[in-house]
Structure 1
Amino acid sequence: MNSSTATTVFLPVALGIVMLGLGLSLTVADFTRVVRYPKATIVALACQILILPLVCLGLVLLFDLDPVLAVGMMLLAAAPGGTTANLFSHLARGDVALNVTLTAINSVLAVVTLPIVVNLALSGFLDGDDSIGLQPAKMLQVFAIVLVPVAIGMVIRNKAPEFTERMRGPVKIASIVVLVAVIVVAVWQERENVLGYLRDVGLVAILLCVLSLTIGYFVPRLAKIERRQSIAAAFEIGLHNSTLAITIALSPSLLNSAEMAVPAAVYGILMFIPAGVLAALFARDREPAPIQ
């Protein structure tokens, strides 16, 4: 597969499968559940949208990353959580319903917040005017690749619930396969420099994951949010949708940069280590506090 085919055909289709799978797990109630959990939702979204980009910026400046890799890290930090967060939250005995709600809302908000963060990063690190979002045509593309497959999945679930139940398992497996495939594509396109990039961004990527998980758990706890909801927030905030970040970075009509996709590809591999350790630690508690 050549790079043109990978970026113009495979990646959008791959992301579509992931987002369709998310849509198959959503209902309108998942968007309205914020009324039931207003405090947990607001605190988690504030961490995701406001705090994480600042934390990532601090890491980028501390480690003096190459400007292009710095933009790639900021793109990753601005990406919403994905279905992987729901899986780890389930394993850790978190409130998966809250995860689904946060994923749904954050995916909608990301259509606006992600382009803003990336545009600021492009302006600050590259002094360039090549940006996604804040331009109607490119905003429409981000909307299409993020929300259209989700909407289709929700319609399918509403119209054919039995079919959706049968497909839920296969789609989850397909999403994992797609995640691996997208990471392979991103690494392959930068194969000559991959070891250097691992050295440059590996520590930053894993630190971002660890700090995101830590912030995602302890900030809600400090806000008096109960434990299961805090666990859900930790994984939602700590595990970003690297598939989305890679697709935006590689898309010829958006960022068109294989180098910018490297942080998300590295993160997509390394995030399973701290996430797995944290899930195991949380799962050891057999009697989590009930939701109030």
Structure 2
Amino acid sequence: MLIDVALPLSLAIIMFSLGFGLTFADFGRVLTMPRAVITGMAMQVLAVPAVAFVLVSFTNLPPAMAFGVMLLSFCPGGVTSNILTKLAGGTVALSITLTAVVSLFSVVTVPVLVGWAATTFLGSAAPEINVTAIGMSMFVITAVPVTLGVLLRFIAPDFADKQESRVSMAALVLFVVIVAAALATNWTMFVTHIAGLGPILIGLNAVLLILGVVVARVLGLSGPDGLCISVEMGVQNATLGIAVAGLIAQTGGIPDYAIPAAVYGITMYVVTIPGMFVLRMIFGKT
């Protein structure tokens, strides 16, 4: 019962921290850099699930694990993607805008894609998917906290500037706790499937990082824009993936579907941090 309450509440706090670091200008930036924003959105909403689907199709993962990988791929960029984009030499303003817009957009895209993935990978074993209920739940634990965070920054900018680092640290701690809880709750399942999950999750991460900069280059975007899109694609909101898995299972606790997101919550940094420095050397100056 504790995890059923703590998980959505923790996600809401994490999403509030995202909004707390945003201004209304970050959303308006869609109009000032439309090509980069549209490219980034399309890559996150369409390309990430497509790559995950292709990779999963070439594995023999159990249906629940395959479905969990797809759930992860539907999630927007993580709350630390802005920091990693800065370290990579990417366009931070674009990163902030993509994180904000795609996170809000996911209230619509995630429930729809979840319904499709459940039918595709779980078949007759799929739980009953109430797309509307998932959408409403996501709205409450993602869109509402983000909006409240933005409004608070708008109303009290000086207070927000002073407290932003503390709120971000609290969100990071909560993220670590959630991932640890997901792994501990399903430790036997994790040990059983890590050999199969590890390679596909690491491979997914690497392909997304490379694909982001390559597509950006083909479309004529700058090197920093490409690095930003690359990081946004590679760093998923694993906490949201775990929470959505719980909304689908409706059995209490953290379900098997959440294991890929929990594992990715760790491996994505192991792959992304060194990967982004390599990509920066190759694409950062173009």
Out of 221, 239, 245, the position equivalent to 1:243 is 239
Mapped contact 1:132–1:255 kept (Cα < 8 A): no
Letter in 2 for 1:258: P
Q: Distance in 2 between matches of 1:159 and 1:98?
A: 24
Which residue pairs with 1:98 in the alignment? 94
1:170-222, CA deviations, whole angstroms, 9 ceiling, x for partnerless residues?
12211221111111111111112221121121111111111111111111111
TM-superposed deviation, 1:254? 5.2
Which residue pairs with 1:229 in the alignment? 225
Which residue pairs with 1:274 in the alignment? 271
Q: Distance in 1 between matches of 2:274 and 2:16?
A: 29
Question: Structure 2 stretches of 5 or more lacking a match?
Answer: none
Letter in 2 for 1:70: A
Which residue pairs with 2:164 in the alignment? 168
TM-superposed deviation, 1:253? 7.1
Provide the TM-score with structure 2 as the length reference: 0.93
Which residue pairs with 1:212 in the alignment? 208
RMSD of aligned residue pairs (Cα, Å): 1.9
Q: Distance in 1 between matches of 2:250 and 2:31?
A: 35
The 1:273–1:170 alpha-carbon spacing in structure 2 relative to 1, beyond 3 Å, is same
TM-superposed deviation, 1:235? 0.6
Letter in 2 for 1:179: F
Q: Distance in 2 between matches of 1:104 and 1:252?
A: 24
Q: Distance in 1 between matches of 2:165 and 2:155?
A: 18
Mapped contact 1:89–1:235 kept (Cα < 8 A): yes
2:173 corresponds to 1:143: no
Mapped contact 1:79–1:110 kept (Cα < 8 A): yes
The runs of 4+ residues in structure 1 deviating greater than 4 Å are 252-257, 282-285
1:26-77, CA deviations, whole angstroms, 9 ceiling, x for partnerless residues?
1111111011111111111111111211110111110121111111111100
Q: Distance in 2 between matches of 1:14 and 1:125?
A: 29
Among the aligned pairs, what percent are the same residue? Answer: 34
Out of 100, 105, 117, the position equivalent to 1:121 is 117
More moved, 187-196 vs 145-154: 187-196
Partner-residue secondary structure (3-state), 1:65:
coil
Within 5 Å, give how 1:74-93 maps onto structure 2. Answer: 74-93=70-89
Which residue pairs with 2:195 in the alignment? 199
Partner-residue secondary structure (3-state), 1:40:
helix
1:243-276, CA deviations, whole angstroms, 9 ceiling, x for partnerless residues?
1111111247758651000000010110111211
Which residue pairs with 1:14 in the alignment? 10
TM-superposed deviation, 1:131? 1.7
Provide the TM-score with structure 1 as the length reference: 0.91
Corresponding residue pairs, total: 283
Mapped contact 1:132–1:254 kept (Cα < 8 A): no
Which residue pairs with 1:130 in the alignment? 128
